Amino acid sequence: MFRIGHGYDVHRFEKGRKLILCGEEIEHDEGLLGHSDADVAVHALMDAMLGAAALGDIGKHFPDTDDAYKGISSIELLKHVKGLLDGQGMTLSNADITVIAERPKLKAHIDAMRANLADALDVDVSFISVKATTEEGLGIAGKGIAAHAVVIIMHNS
């Protein structure tokens, strides 16, 4: 049996922060603002996985009022979400993530981003897609970075 999930997230740029996308630190003159490391792509992916499992969202599991999650690597949170799905007898079949950023250019980082997610989820990298696009200067992406994620989850029973 299959389940589909979708996740969406946006974080605004902030000077003096590191830019982390799919667990990869990317050289840029500003990073994303957030309670955790603000890895917007991993946040969208986790919401897609939780959505497929009908287990709520990341705000429920990792509230930004909880100091335990302050500055935490979102890759660690992703491993926790994988564990929640494992506990329900669900495994990720594949994930397709679109990162929407006017800047910086992400092309050179895509393979490393895919590998980080595949490692955290213990799947072959061929099941993890990461794509990058802009909004042609027309949308919110110039002020920050947005991400969509779609996943298929297999239910083992």
Pick the closest to residue 122 from 157, 72, 85 (CA basis): 85
Q: Strand ranges (DSSP E) for 87-143?
A: 90-100, 128-133
What is the strand order of the sheet 90-100 is part of?
31-32, 2-14, 144-155, 90-100, 128-133
Nearest CB to Mg ion, comparing residues 132 and 145? 145
Nearest CB to Mg ion, comparing residues 9 and 102? 9
State the minimum distance, in angstroms, from the CB of residue 20 to Mg ion: 12
State the minimum distance, in angstroms, from the CB of residue 11 to Mg ion: 6
Q: Which residue is nearest to Mg ion (CB)?
A: 43
State the minimum distance, in angstroms, from the CB of residue 89 to Mg ion: 27
- DSSP secondary structure of 1-48: -EEEEEEEEEEEEETT--EEETTEEE--S-EE--SS---HHHHHHHHH
Return d(Cα 84, Cα 98) in angstroms, integer: 24
Nearest CB to Mg ion, comparing residues 9 and 24? 9
Nearest CB to Mg ion, comparing residues 10 and 154? 10
84 residue type, one letter = L
State the minimum distance, in angstroms, from the CB of residue 41 to Mg ion: 10
Nearest CB to Mg ion, comparing residues 6 and 122? 6
State the minimum distance, in angstroms, from the CB of residue 34 to Mg ion: 6
Residues that bind Mg ion (CB under 5 A): 9, 43
